[in-house]
Structure 1
Amino acid sequence: MRSWLNISSLEFAAGALLVGVLTGIFCERYRSRRRLAGRLEKLMHRQDKLLMEKEWLLREIHHRIKNNLQIIISLLHMQSVRMKDESAIGAFEDIGARVNTISLVHKKLYLESSDRVTIRMRDYVLDLVEYVRDSLCAHRFIAFHLDIADLSLDVSQVIPLGLILNEAITNAVKYAFPDNEASARTSGSFIPAEAHRPGPAAAPPTIRISLHEQPIGLNPPHPHQRTAGPATATLILRITDNGIGLPPGFDASRCGTLGIQLIQTLTAQLDGTFHLTSAPGVDLTITFTRHSNPLHEPAPLSGHHFAQ
């Protein structure tokens, strides 16, 4: 009887010890999980704080770059008004327009971009064309038809694309319509592409700009056909006018003008292709692929790009 009681006491003691050990293990695991959850919460809070600081720093950087570029534009304007040589004044105005094209990118990144690295092209092209149109007083005689897809591009592609647009629009306004004042038939307001209805009368001076994406592997769309595609797509920029066109025998590959050379160099930065035709008017088409790497940086412009 006593032996049986001893065995029962030992079993009870062993069971109690086992329960105690298991309880200790569970308590320690619970405390470990609590400590881990606390550390994780602190890390997440720190990460949120770092992300907010990064957001603020990016906004501040774009804001300061924009302001510095605006100072450069003001200095160029102040210098140009002191000049008497028309060609020098025109060169300063062209440089100011190019600097403004870049400044507008940083303004969009500062005020409107949700991620500070991409820009909605529809809003950017609208603001850029409006600036060029007003600065050249083109609103008095040229109608602008914009057909821009609702897409966003990385800043590394927006800047060369904006500079291409600035050069092409400026050239069209200055040279495509030599008798523009006499043939003024429009207020120059922006007209949606789908609202354009050509009539039997002679068309007013017009510049059309379209930007759309076409999935890789498909044929290029009609010049004014709206298309939509996935993120991996070929982008097609077209700037056309109904002006006097290019001079007979014009060869873009041998042209020595800075505007054409700049457009060709910027197209190379986009890893794209450049196509220029005239029949009638001028049709400039830039085809390129959206960068899949948001950190991709184009090669900087240097003097040898513009060597004669």
Structure 2
Amino acid sequence: MESGSAERDLARERERLQFIIDGAGLGTWEWDVRTNRTEFNETWASMLGYTLAELTPYDYGTWANLVHPDDLARAEAALADCLSGRSENYECEFRMRHKDGHWVWILDQGRVMTRDSTGRPSLMFGTHTDISRLKRSEEELRRGLEEKELLLRETHHRIKNNIASIASLLSLQAGYVTSPEAQSALNEALSRVRSMQTLYTKMLSAHENVRDVSVPGYLTELTDSVVGLFPTAAAVTVEKRLAPITLDAKRLFPLGIILNELLTNAMKYAFQGRARGRIEISLDPGAGRAVFSVRDDGIGLPLDLDPSAPRGFGLTLVRILSEQLGGAARFESAGGTKVTVDFPA
């Protein structure tokens, strides 16, 4: 009685397992590693457009002959890892040839069920899952992302070219005006435009992206560009101490404008009546923050200047952009001018 009950329980368990396999649409295979004989279910064959009768007699070679030649070595290497015990489970994605000639993407998974007394594999069991639809979706997504990336890069190139055109027009106009005030205003505008141009050039250079731009690289190029606009550039020594960190373009852009404004102010006002001058630019990382500062050894800030409410457009812009970065600008005037911006990095 007990034996009959156990057999019925086993039969029900097999029926339940078969129901799960059929419901999931899984192809199953059993491989006797010693004899090379294999057993497949009908779903295994139908995934490839066959009936089991059409594949008879079948063995390991039946599977190997249907796998895409470019994928076979990789699949067999994964099998070898499982058979040797280097990997507990076997899993591989590959293409198999359908009866009508097209390729079907298969996810093949399995494991060794039994080993002999010496540890050699005896029987292996596994399943096939048709993942062709998933692969098509992945390919469509990949192509869509490539198209969007190409469009984005083209847009950036157009913006970069437009910025270059604006910079050229400002430079040309500055060469024609005779008023010192007008020429100064045009040069300041040109300097701001060039800070944007430098960032776009940096982002579009090899392998740069808007999420991970080198801060030292960008600020160094921008510094050279801004200082080079002034005829007194050769008389000013610029020292840079910039930690090797990266920032996304959204934060790097305002930081570049801040540097542009501070350098412009220093070059215009700090060294009046002097033959030479010095500017120090530093960027130091902290615990989740960065400290950026520009210091000169010039004449210092005007005595009547209130740093919390600066009158000039440039310093007002520095304060606003510092707040946009989530930080604050601190102005000091001792032995020159020093402006420090502490912000989350």
* TM-score (normalizing by structure 2): 0.62
Q: Who is 2:75 aligned against?
A: none
Residue 257 of structure 1, aligned match among 293, 300, 312: 312
Give the SS at the match of 1:77: helix
Change (3 A) 1:85 1:105: same
Q: Give the superposition deviation at 1:99.
A: 1.0
Q: Give the superposition deviation at 1:51.
A: 2.5
Amino acid at match of 1:55: E
Query: Is the Cα–Cα contact under 8 Å of residues 108 and 119 in structure 1 kept in the other structure?
Result: yes
Counterpart CA distance in 1 for 2:335 and 2:305 is: 13
Q: Give the superposition deviation at 1:210.
A: 0.7
Q: Give the superposition deviation at 1:59.
A: 1.5
Counterpart CA distance in 2 for 1:138 and 1:268 is: 32
1:72-221 residue pairs with structure 2 within 5 A? 72-180=166-274, 183-184=275-276, 205-215=277-287
Alpha-carbon displacement from aligned partner over 1:246-286 (angstroms, at most 9, x marks no partner):
22233223431111111111112112111001111011000
Q: Give the superposition deviation at 1:26.
A: 9.6
Counterpart CA distance in 2 for 1:134 and 1:285 is: 23
Alpha-carbon displacement from aligned partner over 1:230-255 (angstroms, at most 9, x marks no partner):
xxx11111100111112223322343
Counterpart CA distance in 2 for 1:25 and 1:264 is: 68
Greater strand proportion: 2
Q: Who is 1:48 aligned against?
A: 142
Q: Give the superposition deviation at 1:35.
A: 6.5
Q: Give the superposition deviation at 1:49.
A: 1.7
Alpha-carbon displacement from aligned partner over 1:142-173 (angstroms, at most 9, x marks no partner):
11111111111111111111000000011111
Counterpart CA distance in 2 for 1:27 and 1:105 is: 53
The 10-residue stretch of structure 1 (45-54 or 94-103) with the greater mean CA deviation from structure 2: 45-54
Change (3 A) 1:113 1:256: farther
Q: Give the superposition deviation at 1:22.
A: 5.4
Amino acid at match of 1:106: Y
Q: Who is 1:195 aligned against?
A: none
The count of residues paired between Structure 1 and Structure 2 equals: 234
Q: Give the superposition deviation at 1:53.
A: 1.9
Query: Is the Cα–Cα contact under 8 Å of residues 258 and 318 in structure 2 kept in the other structure?
Result: yes
Change (3 A) 1:99 1:156: same
Amino acid at match of 2:284: H
Q: Give the superposition deviation at 1:28.
A: 4.7
Counterpart CA distance in 2 for 1:175 and 1:27 is: 77
Give the SS at the match of 1:135: coil
Structure 2: 5+ residue stretches without partners = 1-10, 28-42, 48-106, 108-127
Give the SS at the match of 1:137: coil
Matched, 1:247 2:302: yes
Amino acid at match of 1:272: G
Counterpart CA distance in 2 for 1:25 and 1:248 is: 86
The 10-residue stretch of structure 1 (281-290 or 249-258) with the greater mean CA deviation from structure 2: 249-258
Q: Who is 2:26 aligned against?
A: 29
Q: Give the superposition deviation at 1:98.
A: 0.4
Change (3 A) 1:42 1:35: farther
Counterpart CA distance in 1 for 2:306 and 2:179 is: 30
Query: Is the Cα–Cα contact under 8 Å of residues 66 and 104 in structure 1 kept in the other structure?
Result: no
Q: Who is 2:326 aligned against?
A: 271
Alpha-carbon displacement from aligned partner over 1:204-250 (angstroms, at most 9, x marks no partner):
x21010112210xxxxxxxxxxxxxxxxx111111001111122233
Higher gyration radius (CA): 2
Amino acid at match of 2:198: L
Change (3 A) 1:107 1:206: same
Counterpart CA distance in 2 for 1:28 and 1:277 is: 73
Change (3 A) 1:258 1:22: closer
Counterpart CA distance in 2 for 1:91 and 1:113 is: 36
Give the SS at the match of 2:330: strand
Structure 1: 5+ residue stretches without partners = 1-14, 185-204, 216-232, 291-308
